[in-house]
Amino acid sequence: MTNFLKIILLLAIQFARAQNLSMEVLDTNFSKGSLNNKQTITLNDVAKLLGHLCDGLVVGFLGAKEALYKLYPDGLIDRSNTRIISKSSPCLTDVAIYLTGGRYQFNTFFVSDSINYSYIIQRISDGKSFGVKLQPGIKPTEIDRLGNLANNKKLNACELEELREQEEAFSKKMVESNPADDFIIEEIFDFTWKSQLQNNFTKTDTINKNSFTINRKVK
């Protein structure tokens, strides 16, 4: 392969990654405004809400984006006309809220581990709904095994570092692959939205927050 072709291939990969990690949304233009405020949301934006970048955030972002494109084929997501149900993972819920603008108090977001998907996303105006979840076998089983141990505080600092490295490798693989091949997206016909309030889910991303010693000055 010539150097020119290598450069073209590298640019194509970088462009695909950039496309994977951003999406266009439509919002109102001020507190009482009209629906004409087009914005770009990136994976890094969502990471600031969660507090870190992780494999769950990557999976959630890519999966939700694919499902949202089923509702909005032109690629411009109307956040004033969208609501979402998420499983209770801290990563998934933060993605759900950020990408759709959903909030429990406005009946556009709630959490349930009883759904058969990572997300169920609905267009409010006509009730059209899609469920999205990761294809079986895509995520390494070792990540889930170690993750379950971590949730029960059964990993030491070295083992937690091993888990982090595996999650980072999986995240990189997801970003560089075709999301259309990685997710199952199914239309759910006659889906009835029934919001529920539950506030006893475990925030698993802070369970091991004291497992590492960090020297820092507190101002």
Tokens standing for 168?
């980072």
Longest dimension (CA), the chain: 59
Give 79-113 pLDDT, tens digit per residue. 999 999 999 999 999 999 999 999 998 999 999 99
Nearest in space to 90 (alpha carbons), one of 51, 122, 41, 137: 51
pLDDT digits (tens, 9 = 90+) for 179-203: 999 999 999 999 999 988 776 677 6
Which tops the pLDDT comparison, 146 or 210? 146
- Asked whether residue 76 carries a pLDDT value surpassing 80, the answer given is yes
> Which are the contacts of 104, defined by CB distance < 8 A and separation ≥ 6?
110, 195, 197
Name the architecture of domain 22-134+182-196. Answer: 2-Layer Sandwich (3.30)
Concatenate the DSSP letters of all residues of 108-169 into one string. Answer: SEEE-SSSSSSEEEEETTT--EEEEEEPTTSS-HHHHHHHHHHHTT---HHHHHHHHHHHHH
Interval 134-162: pLDDT, tens: 999 999 999 999 999 999 999 999 999 99
Query: And the tokens for 148?
Result: 């379950």
- Residue pair 100/71 in contact (Cβ under 8 Å)? The answer is no
CB atoms within 10 A of CB 149: 14
Percent helix, percent strand, percent coil in the chain, to nearest 5: 45, 20, 35
Please give the angle made by the CA atoms of 79, 83 and 87, to the nearest 5 degrees: 125
User: How far is Cα 10 from Cα 18, in angstroms, rounded to an integer?
Assistant: 12
What is the pTM (predicted TM-score) of this model?
0.84
Type of residue found at 117: Y
Residue 85 backbone dihedrals phi, psi, to 5 degrees: -110, 135
pLDDT: which is higher, 195 or 216? 195
